[in-house]
Every structure is written in C-alpha cells, then in structure tokens.
C-alpha cells in the first residue's frame, strides 16, 4: 500500500494526540491499536512526609512513652481496608489550617490500590534525599524514575516527561545516554504552562500569521548567512537549539496549547478566542480543581491529568513548594499551605504532618478519581487512564520519633504508592511499636521481615517493575507486582 | 618590542572562540538586551495575558533561568529545553509589540522611526524600510546589515504578498527576525 503524507503523520508525528479535538480538526481519525505504555505520576512531598504520621501510626502504649505516638481514639479505619490512618488534628499557625478533608476518605476511595513500602534512606539532606528518592541512589545509571519511564514509553510523546516540582525533585538525572525526549521539561507555573506551547497564540496584536511565517523563514536564512553561522554550526549547544526549533511546528500543528489551556477564558484579559472554546473535559477539570487559579498544587493536578489523558506525557511530577499560602475561609483567611510544607514539622510535628498529608491527599484524591473515570486517549478500547498508572508519593526522609530540638530529620521512613499494577491494600514491612521505626520486607514474597531495612534502590526497582520496566541490577520485587 | 611581536604572533595563531564556548543568553541577559534594543524598561517587556511576567514566571526555566529563593533551584538547566525556542520567540514578539504600540501612539517614536505605523505596508517607501532595517540591525546586533541580509528582510515588505497589511505587522516581523536570530541569542 502506498503511504500518503497523512498516513505518515498519523503513524509517526502526531499519533500521541489521536483523541484531541485538534486532531479531528486536522481530519485525523482515532487510532485504536493496542497501547502498551504505562504512566507514572510522582508527587514530591517536600520536607519529609512521615509515614508514622499518616498510614503507619504508632499507638501509645506503656512501653513507648518516649516516642511520638497517637492515642487509640486518633486512629481511623475504613471497612474492607487493612491499612490504618489518622483522624484530623486541629492545628493553627496564627490562622486556622483549611482542610476538612480526612485521610480516611482517601483510604475509602483508593485503599484497594494503596501500598505502603517501608524504607530507610541514605541521606537526611533535603537536596540529596530528594534526588535519591527519584534515582534509587543511582541504581539505574543515574536515571530518575520519570526519565526511565519516558525512555521506555515516551519516545513518541511530544512532552514525555513534565516536571512541576521544586528543588532536587526537579533536577535531571545523570545518565548521559538518556534520549533527549526523555529529559524533563521543567515547569515554572502549571497554570500558564500551556502558553509556552505555541509561538503566537494568545499574543494580543500580533502580526498576520503569513507574514510571521515569512519572518521566521527570513530569520532562518539570516542565521545561515550570518558571519557567525559557520562557527555556530560547530557548536553542540547551538545545533541542539536549532534542532529543537525545527520541531516547533510539530507541537503547534498538534494544537497542544489549545487542548491544555484549562485557565478559564472568562478570567483572562483580552478578547475571547474561539480556538480556545471550552470542552466539557476542561469544564470538568476546573470543577474538580476549583482553586486552580490560586493553588499551584491544584493547577499541577489539572495539568497532569490533561497531559496523561491526551497521551502527551508518560511521566508527570507534581510538587509542594515552601511558600506559605492563604485562602478565604468561612470567617477569615485560612492557611492553605504551611511554610516549608512537610518541613514545618520542625515546629509542631504532628499538627504540621497531619495538615500537610490531608492537603496533599485531598488533591490526589480528585486527580485519581479523574484518572479512574476517563478513558486513555478518550478511547474506551484503551481502558481507563488509571489502569495503566502508578502514583508515587516521594519524600526525602522521615522524621525523628522523639523530640530532639534539632531538625527532626531521620533516615527511617517509607513511601506511599498507589496503582492497580501493585498488590494494594497492604503494608510491605511494618513498624516496631516500641521504637516507632519501620522495618523491611522480602520483595519476592512481600512478607514482612523485621530484620531487614529496605533501601532507595528497592523502592525504585519496585516502581519500575510494576510499570513493566526491567534494568540491570534491579531488585526482584515480584511479590509486590500484580500479575 | 620582542614582547609585542610575540603577543601579535600569539594572537595570529590563536584558534579564536571555540565552538564549545558559545554561551546561551539566558533569561536575565536576554531580558536586559531586549530592553536595551527596544528602549523599554525591563518590567514592561513581556507579560503573558497582560499580567504574568514572562522572564521571572511563565517562561523562566525555558529561557534558562532558575529560582533559588522560591523554588530551591540553585543552578539553571544546562541546555535549552524543547520549549526554549518557543519561549524566546514569545518574549521577543511581546516586547516588540510593546514598542510598536508605544511608537504608533506618539509623534516622537523611539525605535520604529522610519516606518509610518498608521499606514499599510504598500504605503511604505523602500528607502524607509531599508532605513528601519539598518536601525534594527544596529539596535539588536550593533552592526549594519550586509547587503544580502537587507535584501532578505525586504521580502517582508513585498507589496504583492503583504501590501494590504498594516505597517505594524511589518514592524513586528522585522523585529522578530532580528530578536530571534542566533547572533542575538548567543554570545
């Protein structure tokens, strides 16, 4: 069969966007072949999100009075879910903290897919700890989890790896053999990120598009003729820039900006632009994240959903930052986000941890619900997005179990994973109620092993394995993976 | 005298700027150079949707910047990203349009002094267009354009193709062509 230009476009350049409205505008039909890719969502819970203050609470007993624990009355459970969690702690920092959301409601909705993996990490330094939580302490040539997933499944994606986090969570890995397409696009502002996906749209008063196209053609010719042109062609940096510049039309033709622009036009300055006509999907996203314009975490969740839904990305990273934020409450301003996120724990450990966990889980709950409701690429044959997803709540380290007057950082902790690709509704490892310290598990069986401590490399291996990715030196974590 | 001759000899033999030494004009430097070229205050250069700072907010990372205080990012990204070239063109375009709007409203324009911005492209004389090209070349590249460069840029004033468009469009096109050239973006 002779291949026409349109077939080539469908099969190579634009296939990740097979269900975009834009695609329909281009006259392209939905593609229904099997889609093997898996999706990774990382939530960077900066500052040391502590498991013994969320899903592994230690109950106060006569033999553990020296450590931080919780009364029986504070423990919350959900029928049918083996995991425990904590009730809400009233907490104020001059202003009341906002959320009425409970950790139990998260367990109720998603407990079947939730797995707690214990771990003892290798650094209590924020920058190093965050990097190692993503690169398994270098077990896979320095690739981050997101890079590994993007390299495995995102070769054809337009934005395979999008990172909205901060600090060490936003740094590239160190594998020099990583394909360029798997490197993260680091996002400064999730709400406005779509504006960076087209050279001209949403610019008021811009020139006629044909004249601008000619201006770019002239510019390219000037670059060739420039006295610096010859020199520039020998520079790897400039060659890279030019290669990336040549790829822009592909991004623009796919109408990615129009599809991702969840910022309501009614809130924007300037005239209405019909290219950005609202879809029911965008309206639904805004309804789920009603504070997207003022809360960066809600904006990140909205963007993450759309990137995954349209097959633009295989790895997205959300992140908490260190900025204190307020929102209007019933009577007064309320604290939406604590200064230093989970690291506010220096000052009032249990209240800060409880507040931040509930804030984080409230947003993740809504994101997961969307992923459970919507079909991948908008096509029922591909199944729900959630069926191929894994969500990893990454954090740098744990927290001291007894008051120290110091930073409160501790190597011992663990991570929360959520995925239908894992055997969920269970804890891998456990916690010693006398010391509050977590212990490990046998990764091949999943059974608790009180004499073992798990490392960053084990968690890294478990995550990639669940997503169907194998690499040299990987820990066999088959006891955790759902067949 | 011997030292002088030796110095001259070394200069002759020096390989010049190595290709690997090219430097990407990152966010703050690009902002400063654009502000100078277009005679605009930095803070007025570019705001997405009329509100959000391009250089310190929306496109900060794509332009090669970093934010140590707000986001604990102590070093910038080493290389341009997939979206760097788009970010560059958006900030250049918006800065150009800021200048064009100001010059169109005054009897004493600062940058677009040769074009009659209230008229069409067809109504501009070739002499005026050439003068504007030379002026922009000086502002962006600190040199006169070569004849072949000038000839290329005159395509944007082609009366057959673009004559009916407003001269503001020509101003935008010329400004974008200069502001997104490699010679302006790297040093």
3-state secondary structure chain B: CHHHHHHHHHHHHCCCCCHHHCCECCHHHHHHHHHHHHCCCHHHCCEECCCEEHHHHHCCCCCCCCCHHHHCCCCCCCCCCCCHHHHHHHHHHHHHHHHHHHHHCCCCCCCCCCCCCCCECCCCCHHHHHHHHHHHHHHHHCCCCCHHHHHHHHHHHCHHHHCCCEHHHHHHHHHHHHHCCHHHHEC
A237, A247, A321 member nearest B22 (Cβ): A237
CATH number at residue A130: 3.40.720
Contacts of B180 in chain A (CB under 8 A): 216, 219
pLDDT digits (tens, 9 = 90+) for A7-57: 333 333 333 444 444 444 333 334 457 889 999 999 999 999 999 999 999
Q: Is residue A266 part of a domain?
A: no
Best A211, A251, A262 member to test B by mutation, with max B CBs in 10 Å, is: A211
What domain count does chain B have?
1
Do residues A367 and A248 both lie within one domain? no
**Closest chain A residue to B96, measured at CA:** A206
pLDDT digits (tens, 9 = 90+) for A425-482: 999 999 999 999 999 999 999 999 999 999 999 999 999 999 999 999 999 999 999 9
Instruction: Please check the confidence at residue B14 and state whether its pLDDT lies above 50.
Output: no
Instruction: Please check the confidence at residue B6 and state whether its pLDDT lies above 60.
Output: no
Do residues A249 and A375 both lie within one domain? no
Do residues A278 and A353 both lie within one domain? yes
The pLDDT assigned to A25 comes to 35
Interface A-B: count of C-beta contacts within 8 A: 196
Instruction: Look at A230 and A95; give whichever has higher pLDDT.
Output: A95
Question: What whole-number percentage of chain A has pLDDT above 90?
Answer: 76
Q: Does B150 lie at the interface with A, CB-CB under 8 angstroms?
A: no
Q: How large is the average pLDDT for residues A71-83?
A: 97
3 state SS of A142: coil
Q: Does A398 lie at the interface with B, CB-CB under 8 angstroms?
A: no
Q: Is residue B95 part of a domain?
A: yes
3 state SS of A224: helix
Do residues A325 and A379 both lie within one domain? yes
The pLDDT assigned to A403 comes to 74
pLDDT class of B5 with cuts at 50, 70, 90: low
* Full domain range(s) for residue A187: 39-191+274-466
Q: Does A203 lie at the interface with B, CB-CB under 8 angstroms?
A: yes
What domain count does chain A have?
3
pLDDT class of B7 with cuts at 50, 70, 90: low
Task: Quote the CA–CA distance of B44 and A165 in Å, as a whole number.
Answer: 28
Instruction: Please check the confidence at residue B154 and state whether its pLDDT lies above 50.
Output: yes
Do residues A100 and A7 both lie within one domain? no
Q: Is residue A268 part of a domain?
A: no
The region of weakest confidence among A115-124, A237-246, A461-470, B92-101 is A237-246
Do residues A15 and A124 both lie within one domain? no
The region of weakest confidence among A39-48, A327-336, B5-14, B64-73 is B5-14
The pLDDT assigned to B13 comes to 45
The DSSP output letter for A387 is G
pLDDT digits (tens, 9 = 90+) for A331-341: 788 888 888 89
Q: Is residue B3 part of a domain?
A: no
* Full domain range(s) for residue B40: 22-185
- Which two three-digit tokens encode residue A233? 């062609």
Task: Quote the CA–CA distance of A358 and A336 in Å, as a whole number.
Answer: 11
pLDDT class of B11 with cuts at 50, 70, 90: very low
The pLDDT assigned to A26 comes to 34
pLDDT class of B12 with cuts at 50, 70, 90: very low
Q: Is residue A203 part of a domain?
A: yes
The pLDDT assigned to A32 comes to 52
Do residues A174 and A317 both lie within one domain? yes
Contacts of A232 in chain B (CB under 8 A): 19, 22, 182, 186
The pLDDT assigned to B42 comes to 96
Q: How far is A94 from chain B (nearest CA, A)?
A: 23
Do residues A62 and A152 both lie within one domain? yes
pLDDT class of A73 with cuts at 50, 70, 90: very high
Instruction: Look at B8 and A171; give whichever has higher pLDDT.
Output: A171
The region of weakest confidence among A268-272, A305-309, B161-165, B183-187 is A268-272
Contacts of A159 in chain B (CB under 8 A): 82
Q: Is residue A319 part of a domain?
A: yes
Q: How large is the average pLDDT for residues B176-181?
A: 98
Q: Is residue A317 part of a domain?
A: yes
The complex scores an ipTM of: 0.91
Average pLDDT of the residues of chain A: 90
Do residues A177 and A309 both lie within one domain? yes
Do residues A110 and A5 both lie within one domain? no
The pLDDT assigned to B20 comes to 58
pLDDT digits (tens, 9 = 90+) for A308-324: 999 999 999 999 988 88
């Amino acid at each position: 069969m002779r291949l026409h230009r349109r077939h080539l476009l469908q099969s190579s350049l634009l296939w990740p966007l097979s269900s975009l409205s834009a695609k329909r505008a281009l006259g392209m039909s939905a593609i229904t072949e099997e889609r093997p890719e898996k999706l990774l969502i990382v939530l960077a819970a900066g500052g040391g999100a502590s498991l013994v203050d969320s899903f592994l609470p230690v109950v106060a007993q006569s033999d553990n009075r020296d450590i931080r624990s919780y009364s029986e009355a504070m423990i919350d459970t959900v029928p049918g879910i083996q995991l425990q969690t904590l009730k809400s702690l009233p907490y104020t920092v001059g202003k009341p903290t906002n959320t009425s959301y409970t950790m139990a409601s998260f367990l109720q909705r998603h407990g079947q897919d939730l797995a707690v993996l214990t771990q003892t990490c290798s650094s209590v330094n924020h920058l190093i700890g965050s990097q190692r939580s993503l690169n398994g302490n270098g077990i896979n040539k320095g690739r981050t989890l997101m890079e590994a997933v993007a390299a495995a499944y995102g070769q054809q994606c337009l934005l395979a790896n999008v990172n909205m986090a901060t600090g060490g969570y936003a740094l590239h890995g160190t594998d020099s053999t990583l394909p360029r397409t798997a490197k993260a696009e680091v996002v400064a502002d999730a709400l406005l990120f779509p504006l960076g996906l087209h050279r001209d749209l949403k610019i008021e008063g811009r020139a006629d598009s044909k004249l601008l196209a000619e201006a770019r053609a002239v510019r390219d010719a000037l670059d060739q003729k420039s006295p610096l042109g010859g020199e520039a062609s020998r520079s790897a940096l400039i060659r890279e820039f030019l290669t990336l510049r040549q790829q822009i039309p592909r991004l623009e033709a796919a109408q990615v900006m129009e599809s991702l622009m969840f910022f309501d036009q009614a809130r924007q300055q300037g005239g209405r632009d019909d290219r950005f006509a609202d879809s029911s999907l965008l309206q639904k996203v805004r309804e789920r994240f009603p504070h997207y314009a003022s809360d960066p975490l809600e904006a990140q969740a909205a963007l993450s959903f759309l990137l995954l839904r349209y097959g633009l990305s295989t790895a997205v990273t959300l992140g908490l930052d260190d900025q204190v934020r307020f929102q209007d409450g019933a009577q007064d301003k309320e604290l939406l986000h604590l200064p230093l996120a989970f690291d506010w724990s220096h000052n009032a450990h249990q209240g800060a941890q409880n507040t931040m966990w509930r804030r984080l889980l409230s947003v993740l709950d809504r994101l997961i619900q969307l992923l459970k409701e919507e079909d991948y690429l908008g096509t029922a044959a591909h199944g729900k997005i959630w069926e191929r997803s894994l969500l990893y709540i990454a954090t740098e380290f744990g927290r001291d179990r007894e008051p120290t007057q110091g930073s409160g950082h501790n190597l011992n902790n663990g991570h929360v994973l959520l995925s239908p690709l894992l055997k969920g509704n269970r804890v891998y490892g456990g916690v010693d109620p006398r010391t509050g310290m977590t212990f490990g598990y046998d990764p091949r069986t999943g059974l608790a092993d009180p004499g073992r401590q798990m490392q960053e490399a084990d968690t890294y291996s478990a995550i990639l394995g669940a997503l169907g990715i194998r690499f040299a030196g990987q820990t066999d974590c088959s006891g955790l993976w759902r067949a | 005298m011997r030292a002088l001759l030796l110095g001259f000899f070394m200069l002759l033999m020096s390989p010049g700027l190595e290709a690997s030494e090219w430097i990407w004009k990152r966010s703050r430097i690009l902002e400063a150079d654009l502000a100078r070229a277009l005679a605009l205050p930095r803070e007025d250069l570019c705001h997405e949707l009329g509100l959000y700072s391009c250089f310190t907010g929306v496109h900060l990372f794509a332009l090669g910047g970093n934010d140590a205080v707000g986001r604990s990012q102590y070093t910038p990204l080493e290389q341009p990203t997939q979206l760097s070239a788009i970010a560059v063109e958006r900030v250049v375009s918006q800065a150009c349009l800021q200048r064009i709007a100001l010059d169109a409203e005054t009897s004493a324009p600062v940058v677009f002094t040769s074009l009659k911005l209230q008229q069409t492209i067809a109504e501009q004389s070739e002499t005026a267009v050439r003068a504007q090209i030379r002026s922009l070349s000086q502002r962006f590249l600190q040199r006169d354009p070569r004849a072949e460069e000038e000839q290329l840029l005159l395509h944007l004033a082609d009366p057959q193709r673009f004559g009916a468009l407003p001269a503001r469009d020509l101003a935008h096109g010329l400004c974008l062509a200069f502001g997104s050239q490699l010679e302006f973006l790297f040093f």
